[in-house]
Chains A and B, each alone.
Chain A
């Protein structure tokens, strides 16, 4: 049994909120760099170059990469041999978000009630997904999610007879409908299988997989490659203003499902596909 003070979790979360909003991960940076070199459209290249400048300014001057510093989505994988002390874990996580967003000059974009819409003024509460795993470590992923792209995400409850072609159509439909609204070049997270909510969470988690890594399942890897090619043939391009770079990656996660179903979720992320990961 290992004991972890929840106060330490608060401190980590605070730092990770600030870090994720100012610095992209290395895989995202190189994907954007490669896109600059490969883009065929002149305006597309100009936009991709602006995104490079934007990243440099963000990191150097500590100005958030995007003004939509997101709703804080947090994955917490807790080793089953860990015991938390010093208070309620969920309160500690939200306290970390509060401090990160207030002290880090991040935008407060959360409203207390979806219809009454009064801002909570500290960006809490976070969206927290817990998972119990073997071991005595805690893995935290902080993934601030902007809503320009979140709003373009979709869940399709397909029929088993729709098969792989149905899945491809669903993904391409979501991406084309999103178009310029989702701030392309985008990263496309997909969850196939499970239930209504399981596929959506898989799609969200797929966005945190490095964009240069494919699924370990051979047919899923092929599907990721084929869809990326098809999405980039759509012509949507950087900023939706035409070009050959519409997506940087398609990341697909799968899970067993029911004999009667084929759920597919597509969670679209803009080029500011932010996440900070720490193993504690």
Chain B
């Protein structure tokens, strides 16, 4: 099913998303990848504040290429989500509602998605030029020294993603493959 949602995303709205849905996101999302997650995790361990609110927000696992003049961002496709698996359950428990990446997640992440009524989306890997066209603005809000790995606040319009893991724990990577398996 095709759905249009706005970000931030409430748990009520997230509950309407089903594994396999094609979703267009409009609104505000945040980027964070390996190094930013490590820092956020350390901040939590030291009881320090996070650079942005987790509640109802969506994190996009992405580190862009530099923007050319006149553009908000460079190439901007998803990175492999499993590298963030160590950190994701803590953020989900703090209210994070959605993650955008590509590739498999651990059982711990899937459990945390179900426990919190959150959602894991995939964007098409290796389509960074196309995806950059759905990003209207980009602003570094934390960890500027990390370069491409800094945390960015993005305004997106009709950003195309697919629901992989929904709040019931259905996983498109597992179900879709069986449909075309000819072994």
- A residues with a Cβ closer than 8 A to B are 40-41, 43-44, 46-47, 50-51, 53-55, 57-58, 61-69, 105-109, 117, 119, 121, 146, 148, 151, 179-181, 183, 230, 233-237, 239-244, 270-272
**CB–CB B130/A57 < 8 A:** yes
Chain A interface secondary structure, helix, strand, loop or mixed?
loop
Please report the C-alpha to C-alpha distance between residue A244 and residue B35 in the assembled complex, in whole angstroms.
35
Is the C-beta of B68 less than 8 angstroms from some C-beta in chain A? yes
**CB–CB A183/B125 < 8 A:** yes
Digit string of B89-129 for contact with A (CB within 8 Å is 1, else 0)?
Answer: 00000000000001110000000000000000010111111
Please report the C-alpha to C-alpha distance between residue A230 and residue B182 in the assembled complex, in whole angstroms.
9
Q: A40 — nearest CB in chain B belongs to which residue?
A: B180
**CB–CB B147/A67 < 8 A:** no
Number of residues from B at the complex interface, CB < 8 A: 48
Please report the C-alpha to C-alpha distance between residue A217 and residue B67 in the assembled complex, in whole angstroms.
46
B134 shortest CB reach to chain A, Å: 11
Residues of chain B within 8 A of A151, CB atoms compared = 80
Residues of chain B within 8 A of A272, CB atoms compared = 126
Residue picked from B35, B67, B126, most chain A C-beta under 10 Å: B126
**CB–CB B177/A148 < 8 A:** no
A235 and B180 in contact, given A62-B68, A105-B65, A107-B65 (Cβ under 8 angstroms): yes
**CB–CB B66/A107 < 8 A:** yes
14 sample A-B contacts, Cβ–Cβ < 8 Å, listed by A number: A47-B124, A51-B124, A51-B127, A53-B130, A63-B71, A105-B74, A119-B146, A146-B126, A148-B102, A233-B183, A235-B182, A237-B176, A240-B177, A242-B175
Is the C-beta of B12 less than 8 angstroms from some C-beta in chain A? no
A69 and B104 in contact, given A47-B124, A242-B176 (Cβ under 8 angstroms): no
A67 and B74 in contact, given A117-B35, A148-B79, A239-B124 (Cβ under 8 angstroms): yes
Q: B181 — nearest CB in chain A belongs to which residue?
A: A235
Digit string of B153-183 for contact with A (CB within 8 Å is 1, else 0)?
Answer: 0000000101010000000110111111111
**CB–CB A67/B35 < 8 A:** no
A233 shortest CB reach to chain B, Å: 4
**CB–CB B64/A67 < 8 A:** yes
Please report the C-alpha to C-alpha distance between residue A35 and residue B127 in the assembled complex, in whole angstroms.
16
**CB–CB A54/B127 < 8 A:** yes
A220 shortest CB reach to chain B, Å: 23
Within the complex, which residue of B104, B146, B164, B177 is in contact with A235, where a contact is CB–CB below 8 Å? B177
**CB–CB B74/A107 < 8 A:** yes
Q: Which 10 A-B pairs have the closest CB atoms?
A: A242-B176, A235-B181, A181-B103, A183-B125, A235-B180, A67-B75, A54-B130, A63-B129, A107-B65, A67-B128
Q: B145 — nearest CB in chain A belongs to which residue?
A: A119
A180 and B77 in contact, given A65-B128, A107-B64 (Cβ under 8 angstroms): no
Please report the C-alpha to C-alpha distance between residue A68 and residue B63 in the assembled complex, in whole angstroms.
8
A42 shortest CB reach to chain B, Å: 10
**CB–CB B126/A108 < 8 A:** no
Residues of chain B within 8 A of A180, CB atoms compared = 102-104, 122, 125, 173
Residues of chain A within 8 A of B71, CB atoms compared = 63
Residues of chain B within 8 A of A53, CB atoms compared = 127, 130
Residues of chain A within 8 A of B133, CB atoms compared = 57
**CB–CB B124/A63 < 8 A:** no
Please report the C-alpha to C-alpha distance between residue A181 and residue B81 in the assembled complex, in whole angstroms.
8
**CB–CB A54/B128 < 8 A:** yes
Q: A47 — nearest CB in chain B belongs to which residue?
A: B124
Is the C-beta of B76 less than 8 angstroms from some C-beta in chain A? yes
Residues of chain B within 8 A of A65, CB atoms compared = 75, 126, 128-129
Please report the C-alpha to C-alpha distance between residue A270 and residue B67 in the assembled complex, in whole angstroms.
23
A231 shortest CB reach to chain B, Å: 11
Residues of chain B within 8 A of A243, CB atoms compared = 176, 180
Please report the C-alpha to C-alpha distance between residue A106 and residue B162 in the assembled complex, in whole angstroms.
27
